[in-house]
Amino acid sequence: MKIIVTGCAGFIGYNLCDDLLNIGYQVVGVDNFNDFYDPNRKLNNFKELSIKHQHKFDIINENVNDTNCFEELDDVKAIYHLASRANVRNSMKHPVNYVDDNIKTMVHILDCLKKRKEAGKPVPFLIYASSSSVYGSNEEVPFKENQKLNHIESPYALSKKVCEEFALLYFKLYGIESAGMRFFTVYGPHGRPDMAPELFLTKIYLGEEIQKFGMGDSKRDYTYVGDIIQGLVKVMNTKTLCNVYNIGNSNTTSLNDFIKLCEKIVGKQAVIRQIGKQLGDVPITYSDIGLAKDHFGYEPTIDLEEGLKKTFEWLKPILDSKLNNSSE
């Protein structure tokens, strides 16, 4: 059977496609290779998947809103909707982009599935990326899925909350089944270069300055991408009607401790510039993963130090290559 993955050339999308293809599924990816971060990273991800899985991986090079593959393709078991515009701080500057790239794409997919149902066709299970950002500045931790989401701090977080509401609405009105996955600070190989884990490892290794927002006491629930993929694959075979799940490590680490751990792994001391707290920042993210454990056996296995070591092992040859090219 086929699996559709939007955002297939991105960080989580690449890792998920590789895992699904290794299991034996045929994967149809959807990606427009936008320039939100370096498109070459996404192109390299796509090339790796194409070479490694030549006859089982196809791609639709379109914006999610412009393709009707969700309505037209048959023999599809599930749709993983991972394509979205992330980054809390960017959303403060360009909120309209988060309506277009997050909310509109979600509604487009849901509407395609509604049309399939109206036509009497089988409807794939929709699994979509949400975010721990929906909890905002809530101080009741660890976060549980049944908490009220009335502490939103950014347009990005709001866009994810609205996507969850649309999923619930389409279930109530049309019976479209889905699972929303609230990811907690994902990191690992093939990650986004603008996110703290890869950004800090890179800058510490190159001897460049890193920015520390606030006093360094904010805490995050860093979750290795391999654990995220485990949750995504397991939920596909779960008889859930319309639920959201926390997918995290269920541990928190302060920014100060995170920087120290990066220094330990790289073997160099960070050059730190402290700046003020930024709009949209929240004091803590911390997941209660009990629901995901109960419903589909989700169990994170990689702690932060091991995950950062794996990330740096993947990243270091890339950085060394850049250093060698710049010295020639």
Q: Identify the three-state secondary structure at position 150.
A: coil
Residue numbers annotated as active site: 156
Which helix (DSSP H) or strand (DSSP E) does residue 225 occupy?
A: helix 225-235
Helix, strand, coil percentages in the chain from 3-state DSSP, rounded to 5: 45, 20, 35
Torsion from C-alpha of 254, 260, 261, 264, nearest 10 degrees: 180
Q: Are the C-beta atoms of residues 147 and 189 closer than 8 Å to each other?
A: no
Are the CB atoms for 107 and 166 separated by under 8 Å?
yes
Residue 307 near residue 187, CB atoms below 8 Å: yes
- Cis bond before residue 142 (omega within 30° of 0): yes
The tokens of 147 are what?
């908490």
